[in-house]
Structure 1
């Protein structure tokens, strides 16, 4: 019995420091936020129990309903964009033989830059007299107000976030591509399968675990996007980029309504969980 328990106990000791940090900085704050959402918590530390009043307040809050719609639209635009960019660049890097490390570093470079710095640079690019409109003017195209049009602001912000964040997912997918045995692809090539058939029948099924990880990570990232929006639009124009996470910031750090801010955070947590489970179910169905 002692010999049988030695390996699990040894493994537990190795992961214990990270497990303790995870409990302190992830689980306990989440439980604390769930409890705070049932209270009217003031900045002074005084609080009173209000039960489900904060959740009932959500249904009558037009800002919440609008921010929920904006968040879902942003996620629907950002996630396919960043996953396709990561998958495309991973496939290209997997095929490159010459100077592969240099190309990998160049494509990963935006990921290590600051969100604030990226937002400032891209805000200048998107401005009415900025770089992008300057290029459009040379092509005799009228200037476009990318950050001042309600219909354009979310795609513009999603493009910036995708440019900034696709490098991490690219490396995950590239590692997944490297794990696929070359003999599978060579056998398919000998059997006459073209590039699309090899990708669809061999690469994509074997890449599904890495793809699921990327989808979940990027979905969570999309729901939590704040820095870019704060720097570039401040939730405007006319709250066209006012997301749930921005609403949490306003309620908590502008109006100091911590109970209601915690309620929005719990709703955001539940929304991310549901979307992740749906993604998992869809990918599991594709494996059958």
Structure 2
């Protein structure tokens, strides 16, 4: 059978052009990531390994010994906030997916458009010892307004503020995933008597696990790098978020290598869950 050399050449040229087009499409975002993230990160790593003009790991040893408690505190408040955000977004997102209510859906998404610094200031007013929350609770006799509890400074205030702010973002991602689930499964479940809770637990969550994982990683990253809320609501006499430590080191100590060491540690904290998630996804699809 004769070989059509012209068709073979045309097919080869087509594959070459497809590869070149693919490279041309992916090159700008890859270049942006390398310029805005990879290159500055490598500079931070290099700076963090310098001590008195020589390469050394002393900055990391000092950071872990002096700021170790703050690193643990950062992990704790970030992880707790992520857990609360996911619980609320999955529960409310599942309910709104099964029982559509445009008004409540819009209301829950309002925090998405409010900047972190505004959230921090609002929470300082809301959670202050004699703020709006304690004033309302005192009306029903739940607290003594003359000796009110304080939720504003420390882990409690930070967790409340971060959870409220990022809940709407998680809700947006979770509801998009839930709405993509084949509704025939849900209709079949309702036919066999499954209520709202069982539909969420047995169908929506398992079929949207990947999207929920993406939401968890993105939200955890935003919590680890947040500055305005933790600066405004942190306890000045206790453990601090590492972003506040980095700010203090740069502003008051002018020790850029030490600040970069803490920055690299925060980067690794954010990178670890992303790697675990991607590894799980690759293993699942292998």
Smaller-chain TM-score bracket: 0.7 to 0.9
CA distance in 1, matches of 2:109, 2:195: 30
Gap change, CA 1:33 and 1:174, over 3 Å in 2? same
TM-score of the aligned structures, taking structure 1 as reference length: 0.84
Aligned to 1:144: 149
Q: What is the aligned length?
A: 271
CA distance in 1, matches of 2:104, 2:189: 28
Deviation at 1:167, TM superposition (A): 1.2
CA contact (8 A) 2:79 2:220 kept: no
Q: Which has the larger radius of gyration?
A: 2
Deviation at 1:258, TM superposition (A): 0.6
Aligned to 1:58: 63
The residue correspondences of 1:98-137 to structure 2 (distance < 5 A) are 98=101, 100=102, 102-137=103-138
CA distance in 1, matches of 2:200, 2:283: 19
Aligned to 1:44: none
Structure 2 unaligned blocks of 5 or more: 1-11
Aligned to 1:78: 81
Deviation at 1:76, TM superposition (A): 2.9
The residue correspondences of 1:108-257 to structure 2 (distance < 5 A) are 108-140=109-141, 141-142=143-144, 143-148=148-153, 153-233=154-234, 236-240=235-239, 242-257=240-255
The residue correspondences of 1:25-64 to structure 2 (distance < 5 A) are 25-40=36-51, 48-61=53-66, 64=67
Aligned to 1:266: 264
Alignment partner of 2:151: what SS? coil
Deviation at 1:80, TM superposition (A): 0.7
Aligned to 2:27: 16
Deviations 1:180-213 (A, max 9, x none): 1111222333344444443333222111010110
Structure 1 unaligned blocks of 5 or more: 41-46
